Structure 1
Amino acid sequence: MKRKFIILILITSLLLVSCSNYKELNSVSIVVAMGVDYLPKDNQYNMILQIINPSAIATQTGSIGTPIISLQDKGRTISEAARNITRSVSRSNIYSHVALVVIGEKLAKEKTLNYIFDVFERDSKIRVNIPVIIARDDSVYKVLNNLPALDKLPAKSIVGKIKNTSSLLGENQEIQMRQVISALSSSGREPVINGATLEDESDTSETLDNFSKVKSSYNMINGLGVIKKGRLVGWLDGPPAKSVQMIDNVIKETNVQIKCSKNEFDSMEITRMKTATKIKMKGGIPIIHLNVKAIAIIDEVLCNDNFDQAKTLKKYEVLSENAVKQTIEKGIKEAQGYGADIFGFGEKLHLANPKSFKKYEKNWNDEFKKAKVKIDVDVQINNVGMRKKAYPF
């Protein structure tokens, strides 16, 4: 009897402890996205919080108002700015559901990101396995608070676009905050961060009226921001931006354009790609050898070629190999111009030869600018689609 009484007391104690941090749902506000910008005149940070509006998300009882509520305030630190926002909201902010962090371009250029991300990594309430982007050529507030036509939540829309374009185009990849922090902490790699811009901005971009127009304003994933020593130094745009994903072996699918006549191009879809990287130091200069192997299919033909013939397939394999090689070469050349090893060649040298890397670790970006790169590409075409012959021209 005494034993049962002790067990009962223990169970009661556990139940009481489990409810100690309990909060009613109607007493909290769920933050789904955060934005941080810099105000040079005030020398302060501007924090934007995007909070879910429960009455607009409800489906069974009908929705009322906009799906999100945006609040902002400034402070000498990011933490102070976030706490100053509490003067404008009646509920306690919950940060465990943050799905996106947006950094202002001015902030990324003028302030080092090494300290900006400190608050996110140090605070246990915020996850670091969430996407981070830079608001390119626009304010964080405008990029973050454009109401999309297809998704209720702007953060969900932006994250979905990053996943979509990384899977099909390959100029961007799903970059999480933890990856940026890891690269910032590395002496052999500099981070890249996706850019996003607001297109077709109008007076109704932040209202429900944005849904009622055929041509509504929208966010577009735009370029890869190149970071050097914690600061944004430039952008990679178009095909050269694919080079980062190609070298890092994270490209899922992309295509290259093959010039088949004076004014026409054929399209080659790359379905699989694998890059092997070898690096060594010779006379104080990094010698980098990239061996790229890819599988491709022909997905569009605008020239009258006969794909029944082996020599035609061979010609297109050579042309696509040249196109992939040029894409990687341009990407590396642009990165060398910025003096930022965004490909992690330094990390690869450290793994292959730690003693050699130790000599150049402090000034690795300067060494990377002098690097000589050799690229071998092997593309095999294993499919020409549903037709072997082009339409007659």
Structure 2
Amino acid sequence: MKKKLCMFVLIVMLLLSGCSNYRELNGLSIVVAMGLDYIPKTKEYEMIVQIINPNAIATQTGAQGIPIISLVETGRTISEAARKVTKRVSRPNIYSHVALVAIGETLAREESLNWIFDVFERDSKIRVNIPVIIARKDSVYRVLNNIPPLDKLPAKSITGKIQNTSSLLGENHETQMREVISAISSPGREPTINGVTLAYETPESESLANTEKVKSTYAVINGMGVFRKGKLVGWLDGPPARSVQFVDNLIKETNLQIQCKKQRYDSMEVTRVKTKTDVKMKKGIPNIHVKVKSIGHIDEVLCNDDFDKAKTLDKYEKDSEKVVRQMILDGLTQAQKLGGDVFGFGEKFHINDPKAFKKHEKDWNKVFQKAKFKVTVDVQINNVGMRKRTYPY
């Protein structure tokens, strides 16, 4: 009987106590994106805090005004800048819904990323599975505050584009803050971060007028930033950028252009990509062997080859293997010149031979610059589409 009474009292106390940290939603400002840059003259961090404007995204009462509000402050630390923002907003900021962090190219090149994520890891209010981008050759403020015509929120538009191009083209992949932190902390890997640039910039890019034009200002995903010891040292653009995704087994689907005649190409879709990497040290030089296997589908033909014949398929398999091999080699050699092992070969070497890696742990990027590469590719075509014979031209 005493146990039942105690249980009843405990339940009543829990029901009556309520939530001590309960706050009304209409008394908060929800931060959906953050921007960080560095001002060399004052040696201060610049922070852009992007807040949702609830009146602009309301569905029942009708949307009014611009969907986001941007506040800018500076500080000797990121924490100081964030607290100084409170002078500009009437509600407490909550950071649990941040969907994007944009970093300025000046900060990435001059100040490095080695310390700026410390505040995010220490503060339990902020998640570390947030996508990170670099405002490439542009202002963080302009990139973040471009009002997209298709999506209401700029952060949603940018992350959607990264996910879209990652799954269909393969030149980029969504890099989250936790991945950047892990790469910075690892002696055998350097991070890569997507670049974002504004295209067709107009004075109306930060207003609702931008959404009323057929040809409006928009953010475009532009290359993969290569880092060395936390600092941005260069970019991988176009097909060579896919080499990172190939090596890391992140390619879901991509497309190859295979030359069939002078200035004429056929197109092949590549899926089910599997990559294995072997790293061995010979006389102080890393010998890296990248092995790629994939399935190919012919999805466009501009030369009148007969795909009913086995020799035609065999030719296209060999040609596509050459294209993939060269694409990966171009990415490997470009990253090697920049001196940043963004492929994580050092990590793979550490897993295979921890003792041997320890000898080169402190200067792995220099050792990586001496590496020799071997790339073997196996492509099997198993589909030529609904039409086997080409048009008679």
Quick check: TM above 0.5?
Answer: yes
CA distance in 2, matches of 1:136, 1:12: 57
Query: 1:319-377 deviations in whole A, cap 9, x for unaligned?
Result: 10000000000000000001111100111111111111111111111111111111111
Q: Percent identity?
A: 69
- CA deviation vs aligned residue, 1:221-245 (integer Å, no higher than 9, x gap): 1100001100000000000000000
Structure 1 residue 112 displacement after superposition: 1.8
Measured after TM superposition, the shift of residue 13 of structure 1 is 3.3
Pairwise CA distance, 1:122: 1.1
Q: How does 1:40-59 map to 2 (within 5 A)?
A: 40-59=40-59
Structure 1 equivalent of residue 105 of structure 2: 105
Matched residues in 2 for 1:354 and 1:276: separation?
Answer: 19
What is the Cα deviation at residue 6 of structure 1? 4.2
Q: Bigger CA drift: 303-312 or 319-328?
A: 303-312
The structural deviation recorded for 1:8 is 4.6
**1:250-282 CA distances to partner (integer Å, 9 max, x unpaired)?**
110001111111111111110121111111100
In structure 1, C-alpha distance between the alignment counterparts of 2:71 and 2:348, rounded to whole Å? 44
Give the Cα separation in 1 of the matches to 2:16 and 2:260: 74
2:126 maps to amino acid: I
CA distance in 2, matches of 1:44, 1:187: 28
Range 12-21 or range 331-340, more displaced: 12-21
Task: Please tell me the residue identity of whatever aligns with 1:97.
Answer: H
1:1-27: CA deviation from partner (whole Å, max 9, x where unpaired): 876664454234324554211111121
Amino acid at match of 1:133: I
Partners of 2:372 and 2:5 lie apart in 1 by 77
Residue number in structure 1 paired with 2:206:
206
* Deviation >2 Å, runs of 4+: 1-18
Aligned match of 1:286: 286
SS at match of 1:55: coil
| SS of aligned partner of 2:325 | helix
Question: Aligned partners of 1:133 and 1:35: how far apart in 2?
Answer: 9
Secondary structure of 1:33's partner?
Answer: strand
Which residue of 2 is the match for residue 371 of structure 1?
A: 371
Query: 1:154 maps to what in 2?
Result: 154
Aligned partner letter, 2:178 = R
User: Distance in 1 between the 2:177 and 2:345 partners?
Assistant: 21
> What pairs with 1:240-389 in structure 2 (closer than 5 Å)?
240-389=240-389
RMSD between aligned alpha carbons? 1.2
**Secondary structure of 2:56 counterpart:** helix
Structure 2 counterpart of 1:68: 68
Tell me what 1:192 maps to.
192
The TM-score, its normalising length taken from structure 2, stands at 0.98
Change (3 A) 1:284 1:18: farther
User: Counterparts of 1:92 and 1:48 in 2: how far apart (Å)?
Assistant: 16
1:37 matched residue in structure 2:
37
Instruction: Kindly report which structure 2 residues correspond to 1:119-138, keeping only aligned pairs within 5 A, or say none.
Output: 119-138=119-138
After TM superposition, list the pairs within 5 Å mapping 1:163-202 onto structure 2. 163-202=163-202
Unaligned runs of 5+ residues in structure 1 are none
| Distance (whole Å) between structure 2 residues aligned to residue 290 and residue 134 of structure 1 | 29
**Residue identity opposite 1:51 in structure 2:** I
CA distance in 2, matches of 1:198, 1:311: 46
Find the aligned partners of 1:10 and 1:331 in 2 and give their Cα distance. 64
Task: For residue 45 of structure 1, give the secondary structure of its aligned residue in structure 2.
Answer: strand
Q: What code does the residue aligned with 1:348 have? A: K
1:206 Cα offset (Å): 0.8
1:16 & 1:282 partners in 2: Cα distance?
Answer: 70
Instruction: Name the count of aligned residue pairs.
Output: 393
1-side partners of 2:392 and 2:177: how far apart?
51
Query: Is there any run of 5+ residues in structure 2 with no aligned partner, and where?
Result: none
Match of 2:120, SS state, is helix
Write the distance in 2 (CA, Å) between the matches of 1:77 and 1:176.
22
Structure 2 distance, partners of 1:315, 1:3, is 81
In the other structure, the counterpart of 1:14 is 14
Distance (Å, rounded) in 1 between the aligned partners of 2:260 and 2:246? 24
Instruction: Supply the distance in 1 between the matched residues of 2:4 and 2:371 (Cα, whole angstroms).
Output: 75
Distance in 1 (CA, whole Å) between partners of 2:49 and 2:242 is 32
